[in-house]
């Protein structure tokens, strides 16, 4: 069995220091940079919704199979708190630039080890953007969207049973943001989603088509989706994998959005978001390991 060592790595940026953990088995046959999803998420995959340790568990499981990984606290979170970027100044390209810088840091730490990217949720798109700027051997995209985010937000609002007048205002705001325009007057009921300070980020996100961004890359890709994900339906994974010859799609039975094996009941699914003791869904790590072995055999 491989000996596993965890080391704190630091990354100096123009706006402050970022921090992450390198989980390194010896020997390591490959090294993955794990890119977290949306919101204030720490290196272990935890956010305001609770502690599930999904990304920490993933790193540990990969290490047991000889795959090193680096995962980091996002800007403004945990040990990366000093690198907080003002919300009005943040763009999705900034997050991709952080990933590119972390890939350079990973290359310094493990210079002779093949590297890949593992992106979760919004991190799937960010990892795809980073791979366009920094060569990697492969991409693993878990619970990523297959359509532009504006389409997803629009569908979610239509399903939210908003009053017709409020839904119409939301549609008008979405149309403006999708066209690259800002909206000054946002109803109080829509401030959480469309407050002026977050609009620049939304505009930068809405302009991207995940299928087109992935199709522009020539590296092998593995798209993984759980069939009990309450946030991203299976159809998104099917769309994401569809434009790429050789992009593999794996459906993990019983897996939800935070990579845990859950029963069909919604309450149990949601409870898992704050259950760090719940293990990863069987089949997830095995699929990644198979993909890595195929990369190394090329």
Q: Which domain holds residue 64?
A: 3-147+210-297
Same-domain check for residues 193 and 131: no
**Domain co-membership, 285 together with 259:** yes
Confidence band of 218 (pLDDT split at 50, 70, 90): confident
Same domain, 245 and 142: yes
Tally of domains in the chain:
2
In the predicted structure, residue 29 carries a pLDDT above the cut 70: yes
Per-residue pLDDT, 298: 85
Provide the pLDDT for residue 236. Answer: 95
The verdict on 254 and 132 lying in the same domain is yes
* DSSP conformation letters of 13-24: ETTEEEEEEEEE
State whether 143 and 156 are in the same domain: no
Q: What are phi and psi of 134, to 5 degrees?
A: -140, 120
pLDDT at 193 over 70: yes
The predicted structure's pLDDT at residue 1: 60
pLDDT digits over 160-185, tens only? Answer: 888 999 999 999 999 999 999 999 99
> Do 141 and 36 fall within a single domain?
yes
Please check whether residues 45 and 164 belong to one and the same domain.
no
Q: Residue 70: its pLDDT value, please?
A: 98
Q: Are residues 117 and 60 in the same domain?
A: yes
In this structure, the answer to whether residues 108 and 179 fall within a common structural domain is no
Which of the listed residues 136, 168, 200 is the one where a domain comes to its end?
Answer: 200
Q: Which residue has the higher pLDDT, 281 or 84?
A: 281
Q: Tell whether 223 is covered by a domain.
A: yes
Question: Can you say how many angstroms the Cα of residue 206 is from the centroid of all Cα atoms in its chain?
Answer: 16
Confirm whether 244 is domain-assigned.
Answer: yes
Same domain for 19 and 133, yes or no, is yes
CATH of the domain at 143: 3.40.50.1820
Q: How far apart are CA 258 and CA 51, in angstroms?
A: 10
The pTM (predicted TM-score) of the whole model is 0.95
Share of the chain above pLDDT 70, in %: 99
DSSP-assigned beta bridge partners for residue 50: 47
User: Which among 200, 232, 264 is the end of a domain?
Assistant: 200
- The CA distance from 16 to 20, in Å, is 14
**178 shares a domain with 58:** no
How many angstroms separate the CA atoms of 21 and 253, rounded? 29
pLDDT tens, residue by residue, 32-57: 999 999 889 999 999 888 899 999 99
Q: What is the pLDDT, as a whole number, of residue 245?
A: 72
Same domain? For 156 and 255 the reply is no
What is the C-alpha separation between 45 and 51, in angstroms, rounded?
A: 8
Query: Is 205 domain-assigned?
Result: no
Structure tokens at 234: 């299976």
Residue 188 lies in a domain: yes
Domain-terminating residue out of 138, 168, 200 = 200
Domain annotation covers residue 169? yes
Q: Is 88 a domain residue?
A: yes
């Amino acid at each position: 069995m491989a000996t596993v060592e965890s080391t704190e790595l630091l990354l100096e940026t123009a706006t402050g220091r970022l921090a992450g953990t390198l989980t390194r088995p010896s020997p390591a046959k490959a090294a993955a940079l794990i890119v977290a999803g949306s919101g204030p998420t720490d290196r272990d995959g935890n956010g305001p919704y609770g502690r599930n340790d999904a990304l920490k568990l993933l790193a540990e499981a990969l290490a047991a199979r000889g795959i090193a990984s680096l995962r980091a606290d996002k800007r403004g979170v945990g040990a990366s708190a000093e690198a907080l970027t003002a919300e009005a100044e943040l763009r999705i390209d900034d997050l991709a630039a952080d990933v590119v810088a972390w890939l350079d840091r990973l290359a310094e730490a493990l210079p002779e080890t093949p590297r890949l990217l593992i992106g979760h949720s919004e991190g799937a798109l960010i990892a795809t953007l980073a791979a366009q700027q920094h060569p990697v051997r492969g991409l693993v995209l878990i619970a990523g969207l297959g359509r532009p985010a504006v389409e997803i937000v629009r569908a979610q609002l239509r399903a939210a049973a908003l009053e017709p007048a409020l839904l119409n205002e939301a549609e008008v705001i979405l149309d403006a943001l999708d066209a690259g325009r800002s909206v000054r007057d946002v109803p109080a009921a829509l401030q959480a989603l469309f407050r002026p300070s977050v609009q620049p980020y939304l505009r930068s996100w809405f302009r991207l088509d995940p299928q087109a961004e992935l199709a522009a890359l020539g590296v092998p890709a593995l798209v993984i989706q759980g069939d009990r994900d309450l946030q991203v339906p299976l159809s998104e994974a099917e769309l994401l994998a569809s434009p790429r010859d050789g992009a593999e799609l794996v459906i993990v039975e019983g897996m939800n959005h935070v990579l845990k094996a859950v029963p069909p009941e919604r309450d149990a699914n949601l409870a898992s978001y704050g259950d760090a003791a719940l293990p990863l869904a069987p089949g997830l790590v095995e699929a990644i390991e198979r993909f890595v072995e195929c990369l190394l055999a090329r």
